[in-house]
Amino acid sequence: MHDAAFAAAGIDAHYELLELEPDAVEGTVNEARGPDWLGLGVTAPYKRLVAGLCDEVEPDAATIGAVNNVVRTEAGRLVGINTDAPGFRAGVELAMGRPLADAVVVVAGAGGAAHAVVFACLSAGAHDVTIGNRTVASAAALAERFADVGSGSVSAVALDDAAFAAALRSADLAVNATTVGMIDAGVTIDVGALPAGATVFDLVYVPPETPLLRAARARGLRTANGSEMLIQQAAIAFERWTGVGGMAGVMRAAVAPLLADATARA
């Protein structure tokens, strides 16, 4: 995606994959202060570690507790940012056909991905967010972390609690922020409990159609997988690195063959 955007923008740069052992992360981050670098992309399990190695972490990334991209300034300082939250917001609002403002949201999961999802929903003005997780303590910690974000309410319940099922019955948006459907079998959300106008968003995009999305489509609900979030967050990062915006379409076209191949293999 990024290399396609560099080519389209006429920028002499490329995106390089580095698979690092933990003891190599700090050295690589320090190397990125050099003039040959625009910044870094960061994935699990290093999003928290890299945050502590930056010269500055933007407020949203600090609140979320994760840095997934780093921008190098002209002076060689490294600024940690989080594009997962705005990328999710852009992708999910496209899927819903409406803003997140005043929405009632149910989120399955309380891990790193759920942090970005819950923050995005609350900061966008969601009316109510219910976090369901197998371990209630993790969901409660997440709800407490974001209790002061936005003006909406946020609560935590167990996935198998009656309160989770009750929340689904009034939800505008249901989000799977777990690996269920990708690594683990099954579904996290009973789509039969959702209203007819609800949207189901699964952060999983390999396979492109999870059992959750298949069930939601069979009910005629709006659905989307995590591919659009992937594209939108990448376009935001690219703009922060280069100053060039509007690359989501280029990136979408670049990643389409890979997603099509994943569909064929599924």
Tell me, rounded to whole angstroms, the distance of Cα 200 from its chain centroid.
Answer: 15
Residues 5-21 as b/e (b if ≥16 CB within 10 A, e otherwise) read bbebbeeebeeeeeeee
Q: Residue 107: in which H helix or E strand, if any?
A: strand 104-108
Residue 190 is a catalytic residue:
no
Tokens standing for residue 166: 């009750």
Residues sharing a CB contact under 8 Å with residue 99, sequence separation 6 or more, in sequence order: 93, 124, 125
Tell me, rounded to whole angstroms, the distance of Cα 64 from its chain centroid.
Answer: 11
Q: Which of 5, 38, 41, 47 is catalytic?
A: 47
The catalytic residues are: 47
